[in-house]
């Protein structure tokens, strides 16, 4: 199919990731013959703009997919499960931001800069990884090419916008209440988030890990094609508006690469920007990462407690590279290689 004939849709168009998708489609001038926007009934009557045109919000039904080629999904796991079969029957390829099918064997889980070739094995659905996994692996991947990695220990500092627009509004409201001397009230998140932080608000499993940690661990292994990689994670929600940050300790199987080689590998990797100014104590920050496509990497140093390990700190916009941008990049790969 010629790229100018692509019939594209965004499902979950009015959510935080969906609206970001429309911005990115315009910014990257993604080619399409038609574009449709789907959301819930309460959004019907609204429009969303892309490339100078307003697109009306529609409610998706199983029948719409026969008239589509690619659908970018960001409406939650249940929506993807509901429409997966209809999309496949209609010949529409799904690029899904939910966790519904990420760990299925026949579903590619893709960060294009890292394992783009996995897209070629798709069977009608391609999954976008967890945002924390994307942010971490964009830094880990170029380093892993220098020397095999044995173990990763990661702690995340996750922005409130990752929990949705209502959680973001709650942080703003609680902050205003706190400054005004009022007691902040938690309605969306389980605890006060203003001037506080807490373990990521997903269910704890029998091993004692929450859902976000479990995704980060197991999705990373799948993306890197390395089931033997040892990973442990602690995921924390922090009172930051946008962009996740992570502290990452990487242990190598053999001798660790030099810091010079690590800097060079990171600087040359697409989608990564090194921010490592020791003299001015300037390193990756969520304020700098917000609204940007690159993953910022810094605090690159040898681990003095382990001669085979290094430490680093990363920040990345979880709505862009951690979700919407990754989905659009997958679509671009499909178009470029005529894989749908």
Q: Which residues carry out catalysis?
A: 131, 244
- Cα–Cα distance, 57 to 41 (Å, whole number): 9
Q: Does the CA dihedral 84-85-89-90 come out positive or negative?
A: negative
Q: In this structure, what token pair is assigned to residue 108? A: 């590619």
Beta-bridge partner residues of 204: 210
Sheet order of strands, 53-58 included: 47-50, 53-58, 34-38, 7-11, 70-73, 93-96, 125-127
Q: At what angle do helices 259-268 and 131-144 cross, to 10 degrees?
A: 120
Q: At what angle do helices 325-336 and 16-27 cross, to 10 degrees?
A: 50
Q: Which of 191, 205, 265 is nearest to 233 (CA)?
A: 205
CA distances from 277 to 143, 274, 304, 314 (A): 19, 9, 20, 14
CA distances from 34 to 1, 3, 45, 46, 224 (A): 14, 11, 19, 18, 35
Contacts of 156 (CB under 8 A, 6+ apart): 132, 200, 212, 216, 233, 234, 235, 236, 244, 245, 246
């Amino acid at each position: 199919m010629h790229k100018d004939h692509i019939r594209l849709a965004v499902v979950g168009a009015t959510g935080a990731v969906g609206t970001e998708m429309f911005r990115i489609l315009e910014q990257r001038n993604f080619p399409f013959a038609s574009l449709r926007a789907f959301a819930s009934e309460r959004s019907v009557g609204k429009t969303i703009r892309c490339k100078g045109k307003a697109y009306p919000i529609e409610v998706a039904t199983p029948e719409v997919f026969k008239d589509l080629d690619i659908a970018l999904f960001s409406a939650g796991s249940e929506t993807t499960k509901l429409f997966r079969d209809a999309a496949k029957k209609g010949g529409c390829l799904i690029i899904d931001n939910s966790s519904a099918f990420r760990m299925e064997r026949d579903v590619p889980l893709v960060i294009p800069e890292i394992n783009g070739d996995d897209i070629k094995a798709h069977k009608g659905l391609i999954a976008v990884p967890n945002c924390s996994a994307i942010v971490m692996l964009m830094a880990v991947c170029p380093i892993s090419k220098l020397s095999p990695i044995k173990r990763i220990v990661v702690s995340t500092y996750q922005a409130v916008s990752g929990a949705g627009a209502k959680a973001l509004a709650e942080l703003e409201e609680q902050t205003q209440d706190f400054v005004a001397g009022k007691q902040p009230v938690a309605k969306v998140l389980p605890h006060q988030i203003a001037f506080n932080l807490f373990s990521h608000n997903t269910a704890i499993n029998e091993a004692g890990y929450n859902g976000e940690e479990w995704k980060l661990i197991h999705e990373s292994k799948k993306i890197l094609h390395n089931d033997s990689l040892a990973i442990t994670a602690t995921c924390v929600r922090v009172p930051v508006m946008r962009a996740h940050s992570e502290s990452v300790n990487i242990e190598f199987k053999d001798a660790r690469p030099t810091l010079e080689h690590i800097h060079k590998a990171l600087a040359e990797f697409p989608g990564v920007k090194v921010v490592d100014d020791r003299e001015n104590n300037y390193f990756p920050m969520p304020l700098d990462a917000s609204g940007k496509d690159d993953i910022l990497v810094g605090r690159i140093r040898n681990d003095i407690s382990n001669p085979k390990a290094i430490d680093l700190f990363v920040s990345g916009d979880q709505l862009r590279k951690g979700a919407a941008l990754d989905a659009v990049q997958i679509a671009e790969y499909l178009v470029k290689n005529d894989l749908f």
